[in-house]
Amino acid sequence: MAPPLLRLDQIRLTFGGTPLLEDAALSVSEGERIALVGRNGSGKSTLLKIAAGFVEPTAGEVFRHPGATIRYLAQSPDMEGFADVHAYVEAGLGPADDPYRVTYLLEHLGLTGNERPGQLSGGEARRAALARVLAPQPDILLLDEPTNHLDLTTIEWLEDELRQIRSSLVVISHDRRFLENVSRSTIWLDRGVTRRLEQGFGHFEEWRDKILEEEERDLHKLGRQIVREEHWLRYGVTARRKRNMRRLGELQAMRQEFRTHRRAQGTAVLAASDSKESGKLVIEAKGLSKAYDGRVLVKDFSTRIMRGDRVGLVGPNGAGKTTLLSMLTGMLPPDEGTLRLGVNLEMAVLDQKRESLNPDETLAHYLTDGRGENVVVNGEQRHVVSYMKDFLFQPEQARTPIRELSGGEKARLMLARVLARPANLLILDEPTNDLDMETLDLLQELVTGFAGTVILVSHDRDFLDRTVTSVIAPEGDGRWLEYAGGYADMMAQRREAALVKRETKASGSRGPSQAETASPEPKREEKRKLSYKQKFALETLPGKIEALAAEIAGLEAKLADSELYAKNPDLFAKIAAELEKKREARSAMEEEWLELEMLREEIEG
């Protein structure tokens, strides 16, 4: 196995009290793609800063290969001293790097390069920082939440870009789909200690749950053993006659281990406050249109949203998602068209703009609106500290100014306030930003189990697939279409439509034959047939997919051998690479078969 370009070993960091990092490790070799995961506040960003050299650990060993270049993407980039974005990005290049790459990256990230740093939004500054670290194609890329503030198109472009570059990656992200697509190894930072899984993020959650179950079982066994030893100490005949100092020492050590064991952090409790039921019809829009400065953002859009629907809005930044959402909720009048809102609507809105938070306000004041020490949830008064605990805040944080919270804590705080309001219509604008995986799971359960109606804007493909019943997406020129199902369903329907369009166009370009001109009926019948190649693929693909599945299962069984990596790391890496290729091949075959099957059903139906 290649020697590491970067190695952190036995890293310890404390700011007083419980150490943030106790025994953390990170090893990055050439070509590795690592997902760094853990709860909000577990120290992931701090560990990345130690790797980049911006934070010194209290103890431990840090090794960086002298010839290796490392670039670090911070969550809050410092752009002071640069005239424009182009100059900021260009400053990240080395002497031998390609300057044209700066223009290429800025273009794909939606920037011109002429923007002034002081006038950038948080999202624009983030994209500029991403261009700066990608431009030199360093040996190691340390990326802290690279997908924040990126739209779906740009996220998918970034995935392709990261697949192609030679750099090793260490990535922190809340975007499950992104991590699954770019990672090959996973490092879990939990209670100051790191554990490594030599598989991508797609296998992480099952592995993590197994470890936590084993830990709880071991802790339970330890507790039972302490009880038995204490019983011996008090009542054992041998113990009364002569104290066994060795057993006494072991008992004291077990008690100490049990007392000092740091249990896994609890999970947030997310529940929306109940409200009276809305009418069956929630929103009816007919022919909505809106334009700004001659640019049409929404054109002739119609929809009907019923009670219980969960609708997702997707699209590139600037496409008009916020404009359409504001019109659908009655906050913005359309230029044309009509809007009808249902009866008994009570709306709760989560705004993605953290800037709306007053940084000097305390958590308790924000949750109670300054009205004492209690918050009303589901018609019952609860002490604000008790309610804060549901969202993983500590009692001492009640008087903490909002400015001292991390991005994830601010996201949880805003959720806590929104969910305390009685509502039967939830409007969630980028609700997944900065939330850890566990809180995302609970938010997903909340959205899918909500008795009312939900409209959400999100760039998180996995979250959309797990929650929404339909997706509204832009088609260009201000046109928006609604697709049944989640994001993956929308993409499948778009591919099917594109396939039919291509076939229709190809058919039309050949022109009608003499026989077809004489008899129009057979012509229409001819168009509605699968080609021989399509029929053959439809018949043979299931067998090929099944054969690939068997090969994948065999490779997975080999990798499941816990001693394989220790015995032969090169073989392990070879099998892992082969497994990834076969999984990608199977996915491509499944997509091709699905498109053909849907086309067949349409023709026969």
Q: Are residues 158 and 293 in the same domain?
A: no
**599 SS3 class:** helix
Q: Are residues 216 and 183 in the same domain?
A: no
Answer yes or no: is 44 a known binding residue: yes
Q: Are residues 200 and 238 in the same domain?
A: no
pLDDT grade for 454, boundaries at 50, 70 and 90? very high
Under 8 Å between Cβ of 20 and 58: no
% of the chain residues with pLDDT over 90: 32
The answer on pLDDT for 251 being more than 70 is: no
Answer yes or no: is 533 a known binding residue: no
Give the least confident one: 95-99, 453-457, 480-484, 502-506: 502-506
Q: What is the mean pLDDT of residues 185-206?
A: 92
Answer yes or no: is 101 a known binding residue: no
Question: What is the arrangement of strands in the sheet containing 347-350, beginning at the earlier edge strand?
Answer: 347-350, 425-429, 453-457, 310-313, 470-476, 479-484
Count of alpha carbons within 13 Å of 166, Cβ hemisphere only?
A: 7
Asked if the structure places residue 156 within a domain, the reply is: yes
Count of alpha carbons within 13 Å of 476, Cβ hemisphere only?
A: 0
Q: Are residues 473 and 542 in the same domain?
A: no
Asked if the structure places residue 275 within a domain, the reply is: no
Q: Which amino acid, one-letter code, is at 406?
A: S
The answer on pLDDT for 273 being more than 70 is: no
Place of tokens 């069984």: 557
The answer on pLDDT for 184 being more than 70 is: yes
pLDDT in tens, 45-80: 999 999 999 999 999 999 999 989 999 998 778 888
Q: Are residues 30 and 157 in the same domain?
A: yes
pLDDT at 524: 39
* Residue 582 exposed, middle or buried by CB count within 10 Å (0-12, 13-18, 19+): middle
Give the CA diameter of the chain: 114
Answer yes or no: is 452 a known binding residue: no
Under 8 Å between Cβ of 459 and 487: no
pLDDT at 240: 45
CA 396 to chain centre: 30
Q: Are residues 199 and 322 in the same domain?
A: no
Place of tokens 């025994």: 23
Asked if the structure places residue 267 within a domain, the reply is: no
* Structure token digits, residue 532: 């021989």
The answer on pLDDT for 528 being more than 60 is: no
**502 SS3 class:** helix
Q: Are residues 439 and 314 in the same domain?
A: yes
pLDDT at 245: 57
The answer on pLDDT for 397 being more than 90 is: no
As a whole number, the mean pLDDT across the chain is 82
Picking from 562, 586, 553, 559, the residue whose alpha carbon sits closest to that of residue 575 is: 559
Last residue of a domain, one of 168, 183, 206: 206
Domain that holds residue 583: 512-604
Answer yes or no: is 243 a known binding residue: no
Output 124 or 562, whichever has higher pLDDT: 124
Answer yes or no: is 378 a known binding residue: no
Q: Are residues 213 and 196 in the same domain?
A: no
Asked if the structure places residue 455 within a domain, the reply is: yes
Q: Are residues 485 and 516 in the same domain?
A: no
Place of tokens 């192609």: 164
pTM of the model: 0.66
Terminal Cα-to-Cα distance of the chain (whole angstroms)? 56
Greatest mean pLDDT among 260-264, 430-434, 480-484, 577-581 lies in: 480-484
Q: Which amino acid, one-letter code, is at 88?
A: Y
pLDDT grade for 405, boundaries at 50, 70 and 90? confident
CA 245 to chain centre: 54
**157 SS3 class:** helix
Answer yes or no: is 121 a known binding residue: no
CATH number of the domain where residue 579 is located: 1.10.287.380
Cα separation, 49 vs 46, in Å, equals: 5
Q: Are residues 202 and 222 in the same domain?
A: no
Asked if the structure places residue 268 within a domain, the reply is: no
pLDDT at 508: 67
pLDDT at 523: 38
Number of separate domains in the chain = 4
Under 8 Å between Cβ of 12 and 58: yes
Answer yes or no: is 202 a known binding residue: no
Query: What DSSP element (H or E) covers 339?
Result: strand 336-341
Residue 446 CB neighbours (<10 A): 20
pLDDT in tens, 305-331: 998 899 999 988 778 898 999 999 999
The answer on pLDDT for 369 being more than 90 is: no
CA angle in degrees (0–180, nearest 5) for 227-233-237: 125
pLDDT grade for 229, boundaries at 50, 70 and 90? low
Answer yes or no: is 315 a known binding residue: yes
* Structure token digits, residue 497: 């439509």
The answer on pLDDT for 427 being more than 80 is: yes
Q: Are residues 465 and 530 in the same domain?
A: no
CATH number of the domain where residue 43 is located: 3.40.50.300
Cα separation, 284 vs 517, in Å, equals: 46
Answer yes or no: is 583 a known binding residue: no
Q: Are residues 99 and 193 in the same domain?
A: yes
CA angle in degrees (0–180, nearest 5) for 519-520-524: 130
Answer yes or no: is 41 a known binding residue: yes
Answer yes or no: is 322 a known binding residue: yes
Asked if the structure places residue 495 within a domain, the reply is: no
Q: Which amino acid, one-letter code, is at 380?
A: E
Answer yes or no: is 43 a known binding residue: yes
Question: What is the arrangement of strands in the sheet containing 21-29, beginning at the earlier edge strand?
Answer: 59-64, 4-13, 21-29, 193-197, 185-190, 33-37, 168-172, 140-144, 70-73
Under 8 Å between Cβ of 77 and 129: yes
* Structure token digits, residue 346: 């009570």
Cα separation, 272 vs 443, in Å, equals: 10
Crossing angle for the helix pair 407-420 and 437-449, nearest 10 degrees? 20
Answer yes or no: is 45 a known binding residue: yes
Q: What is the mean pLDDT of residues 344-365?
A: 80
Answer yes or no: is 329 a known binding residue: no
Answer yes or no: is 25 a known binding residue: no
Radius of gyration over every alpha carbon of the chain, rounded to an integer in angstroms: 28
Asked if the structure places residue 322 within a domain, the reply is: yes
Cα separation, 205 vs 208, in Å, equals: 5
Torsion region of 547: left, alpha or beta (phi above 0 gives left; psi -120 to 50 gives alpha): alpha
